[in-house]
Amino acid sequence: MREHVNDPWVQRAKAEGWRSRAAFKLMEVDDKDKLIRKGAIVVDLGCTPGGWSQVARKRLGTTGRVIGLDLLPLDPMLPGVEFLQGDFHEESVLKQVEEMLHGAKVDLVLSDMAPNMSGIPLSDQARSVHLAELALDFAANHLQPQGSFLVKVFQGSGFTEYINAMRKVFRKVVTRKPEASRGRSSELYLLGQGLK
């Protein structure tokens, strides 16, 4: 807890009005890869507490749409972000998302999801990979052909297989380790661009 409170990124997020330190991770990747384009439709999977949705909404300005999904409530709500509480791989929730999209394809799918950690590394890694697989499946089915997918993964069991699965879906797959990621963390971000 002390590490979190004293974290310079946490302090900076608080000072600048961002929902979480994760906001800086997305900003850095977007600065490099230009993912958030005016008029884009962005879907943020596992969006609570809202750091990535907040960045996407701000960078889109008055254009485009940001749709956030999470099992947990988004509290307080973010102005200009359409939020749906539920499990996006449940048929009923997926149907609601598709109704919100009105048949449109998505330009950018974001996933900064992580499971609630149990402290059992093998179990936590398996659950993390499962979430990333669900996000990849959503992206493969909802992105427009030139769309992009940014997902958090952890190096460990299943990581190589996951990258290979992404390479089957996207023409280009690169890794990103933003400065705001803790150095000792096995966290990485994978960016897939252009559906095959």
Domains and CATH numbers, the chain: 2-195 (3.40.50.150)
The low-confidence residues of the chain, meaning pLDDT below 50, are none
51 labelled binding-site residue: no
- Residue 122 has a pLDDT of 85
Check if 58 is active-site.
Answer: no
Quick check: bond before 49 cis, omega within 30?
Answer: yes
52 labelled binding-site residue: yes
pTM exceeds 0.75 for this model: yes
14, 95, 152, 177: the catalytic one is 152
70 labelled binding-site residue: yes
- Residue 2 has a pLDDT of 58
Q: What is the pLDDT of residues 74-119, one digit of tens each?
A: 999 999 999 999 999 899 999 999 999 999 999 999 999 988 888 8
- Residue 133 has a pLDDT of 97
Backbone angles phi and psi of 14, in degrees to 5: -65, -45
- Residue 5 has a pLDDT of 57
50 labelled binding-site residue: yes
H-assigned helices in the chain: 2-6, 8-16, 22-33, 51-60, 91-101, 121-142, 159-169
